[in-house]
Amino acid sequence: MKRVGRKLCVVCAGLFFITGLCFQIPAQEPFSVALEFQGTGQVDIFKPGVKLFTDRPYLLKECPEWLKSKTFLRNSIDKPEDWTVVSAGILTVLTPVEHEQSTSQIQALDDAGFERIEKPAQFQLFGNSAWNQTVIFQKQVEPGERFLFGKWVVAVGFSGASGSIEKSWSKNNGELLYNGIRLPQEWPPLDIDIADPSPIAVPYLDFPPAIILIDVGRQLFVDDFLIESTDLNRTFHMPRKYEGNPVLKPETAIERGKVELEGHTKPYGYGNAGAGPKSGGCWWDSDDQLFKMWYETSWFGPIAMAVSQDGLHWDRPEFDVCPGSNIISPVDIIPDSWTVVRNWDATNPEQKWTLYIHPPVPAKSGISLTSPDGIHWNHRGKTGPSGDRSTHFYNPFRKKWVYSLRAGFPGRGRARQYYECDDFMTGAQWTEGDRVPWAMTDELDLPDPYIGDPAQLYNLDAVAYESIMLGIFEIHRGPGNQICAKLGVPKITELNFAYSRDGFHWSRPDRRAQIPAERKDVWDRGYVQSLGNVCTVVGDKLFFYYIGFQGNTAKAGLNNSMYDRSATGVAMLRRDGFASMDAGAEGGALTTRPVVFSSGSRLFVNVDTTEGELRVAVLDDDSNPIEGLTFDVCRPVSEESTIWEIRWADGKNLQALCNQPVRFCFHMTNGSLYAFWVSDESGTSGGYLAGGGPGYSSSKDE
């Protein structure tokens, strides 16, 4: 389906239905189209003085006589709505003229086959600004057509409309995911209400599948998805910043902003010192047995690559892109926001690495590039419209490239819109209407007590880790750029973990800053940002690389001093250590929902019971204990290990239970349980490894 606009469903001429009410409206040609819509749309009469949008006070200033007194659909100015045609007719749509201050849908309408109406050529929809001048399009639409326009469009002159009723996720009939979640047929969803300050619902937690598939990855307890019952307590854990930070800091002349590069487009760097990825990426390259980190040399400086064997000590090889340096970015592109992502599924070796760059303003679109080595970027394509601090990632569970695009919603400030495609290069030609509202801060993201500004979502990076998509919300605390520039200090952004099992909806049960800004005159004083790979796997630890800025109060007000002195550090967390289910001396138990595995004979856990013990029983679909796999014959575990096999007496294992629904029941005293999974003797999970790490030759633990 081509996404170009909001959902419009033509019902029948002469009747208008909305939220259970029915109005009789005389049908007038060519206005014979009736609409079905989702959300909080309202129908009214199009005449000067009428309110145009549900979330803005704008009033209609003028309109052509032939549109006056016709019906129109009042929607949110920002939220796209899904329209589907069910009876033939002529659809009339208004959109602003093309202007740098407007979000015109002219191109999207052209792409969808609408034709421009020249009488009048344009008119002032509201206000007095040139960018609120409006043009008219029409199209003969047929049953079954669907449209998705972004902000903003207005439908005028139809005979009827009805609001649709949302279905429960338990009735979904779309794509079946690796974990048993069934998606709605319409995907990505369009039900995010940007005006609602409450946390966005995570529907698969409210409507979990009857049977959960656990073939892929370690099963983590970051939410209640896996849990049928428990009296254990969940604890969320914090990474620890490495004492040797920063691991990469400005050292070369280029990183100190002292050198102009021959052949490179200027301006570069504004003279500020920097060595920070700004999303960038840090990936384990098993072909070369090295960590590779892409980072920005000074603010808006060219992209360079550093390499490391252990992830802590970094070298700067010299490359031929800019002889005598480790710079790898094309000479004619200035990076503003950007990410490097390893394309593990690439069949073409020329596409091993992907790079998405959004150049500085006034650029309105990004650039997609691919490379065989992460150094020479040989293929290039223009993306759809985006803004600064936009990034991309790969969702291997659904084999989709996803763009995390900057957006701004009324009353919410910075937020994110979502776009997905199958192919990184050819699929990136989105229109404004293809982007859907996705993620934002909510009423649980309280203002910083010292700064007082409302929290905003500055960026969202994500990666596949074991059985989930692991996200990092970069939360903007303030203060505003003008204040920071005057003082020469960075704004405060901090990093908060998020978890998703469908790749779209995010659970953020712990709103603390897992990687905070230090807020004092040190290297990571503020503007803390994540990397596109989110983390790497190094033995029993996860390495979370992050960028911080110190700013420069000595240069306050000069040369973007708030963006001076960036560097890169790392914070470490136990593998799978985001959340644990804990028991004290009195003990407790956790029983999973019904789960199914198609292969494997051994149960493994990530556990710490050095002061207690863990025993496991396996139950059938009716919750009856399975002979030979009960608590009394389970060998107790009193260990600390990120990979430990559960054993029962007489060598009994899970082989006979493949493809049968079972429940695992964990009983524990004085300990913490982090994850479980079913495997063969190797203990490999088949799950994803984020940015990878030493000892792994692919994106998965296999």
- pLDDT per residue over 423-481, tens digit each? 999 999 998 888 999 999 999 999 999 999 999 999 999 999 999 999 999 999 999 99
Smallest CA-to-CA distance from 154 within 109, 98, 200, 212 is with 109
User: Do residues 485 and 584 both lie within one domain?
Assistant: no
pLDDT of residue 24: 30
- pLDDT per residue over 475-524, tens digit each? 999 999 999 999 999 999 999 999 999 999 999 999 999 999 999 999 99
- pLDDT per residue over 195-235, tens digit each? 889 999 999 999 999 999 999 999 999 999 999 999 999 99
Please report whether residue 5 resides in a domain.
Answer: no
- pLDDT per residue over 330-353, tens digit each? 888 889 999 999 999 999 999 999
pLDDT of residue 166: 54
Task: Give the Cα separation of 186 and 1 in Å (integer).
Answer: 10
User: Do residues 564 and 644 both lie within one domain?
Assistant: no
The stretch 563-589 carries a mean pLDDT of 97
User: Do residues 681 and 544 both lie within one domain?
Assistant: no
Binned at pLDDT 50, 70 and 90, residue 112 comes out as confident
* CATH code, domain carrying 360: 2.115.10.20
pLDDT of residue 73: 82
Please report whether residue 169 resides in a domain.
Answer: no
The stretch 39-53 carries a mean pLDDT of 81
Half-sphere exposure of 554 (CA within 13 A, CB side): 5
pLDDT(261) > 70: no
Number of domains in the chain: 3
Mean pLDDT (the chain) is 89
User: Do residues 432 and 306 both lie within one domain?
Assistant: yes
Q: Which two tokens stand for residue 582?
A: 């804990």
pLDDT(404) > 70: yes
Indicate the range of 152-156, 272-276, 358-362 predicted with least confidence: 152-156
Smallest CA-to-CA distance from 31 within 5, 3, 69 is with 69
User: Do residues 131 and 231 both lie within one domain?
Assistant: no
Domain edge (last residue) among 574, 594, 623: 574
Q: Which two tokens stand for residue 304?
A: 């360079």
User: Do residues 194 and 262 both lie within one domain?
Assistant: no
Residues 6+ apart with CB under 8 A from 524: 245, 246, 517, 518, 546, 548, 549, 550, 567, 569
Smallest CA-to-CA distance from 597 within 211, 226, 220, 204 is with 211
Please report whether residue 231 resides in a domain.
Answer: yes
pLDDT(268) > 80: no
Please report whether residue 634 resides in a domain.
Answer: yes
Smallest CA-to-CA distance from 394 within 459, 337, 344 is with 344
The stretch 355-364 carries a mean pLDDT of 91
Please report whether residue 702 resides in a domain.
Answer: no
pLDDT of residue 21: 27
User: Do residues 89 and 143 both lie within one domain?
Assistant: yes
- Between 151 and 82, where is the model more confident? 151
Binned at pLDDT 50, 70 and 90, residue 98 comes out as confident
The stretch 671-684 carries a mean pLDDT of 98
Task: Give the Cα separation of 194 and 167 in Å (integer).
Answer: 20
The stretch 99-123 carries a mean pLDDT of 85
The stretch 233-259 carries a mean pLDDT of 93
pLDDT(5) > 90: no
User: Do residues 539 and 654 both lie within one domain?
Assistant: no
User: Do residues 182 and 311 both lie within one domain?
Assistant: no
Please report whether residue 10 resides in a domain.
Answer: no
Indicate the range of 72-76, 128-132, 162-166, 583-587 predicted with least confidence: 162-166
User: Do residues 304 and 413 both lie within one domain?
Assistant: yes
Binned at pLDDT 50, 70 and 90, residue 28 comes out as very low
Please report whether residue 364 resides in a domain.
Answer: yes
pLDDT(17) > 70: no
pLDDT(6) > 70: no
Cα dist from 660 to 267, 601, 654, whole Å: 63, 13, 10
Domain edge (last residue) among 113, 136, 163: 163
User: Do residues 363 and 431 both lie within one domain?
Assistant: yes
Residue 202 structural domain:
174-237+578-689
pLDDT of residue 27: 32
Domain edge (last residue) among 133, 163, 193: 163
pLDDT of residue 33: 64
User: Do residues 486 and 523 both lie within one domain?
Assistant: yes
- Between 376 and 53, where is the model more confident? 376
Q: For the chain, what percent of residues have pLDDT higher than 90? A: 69
Alpha helices in 159-261 (DSSP H): 203-206
Please report whether residue 320 resides in a domain.
Answer: yes
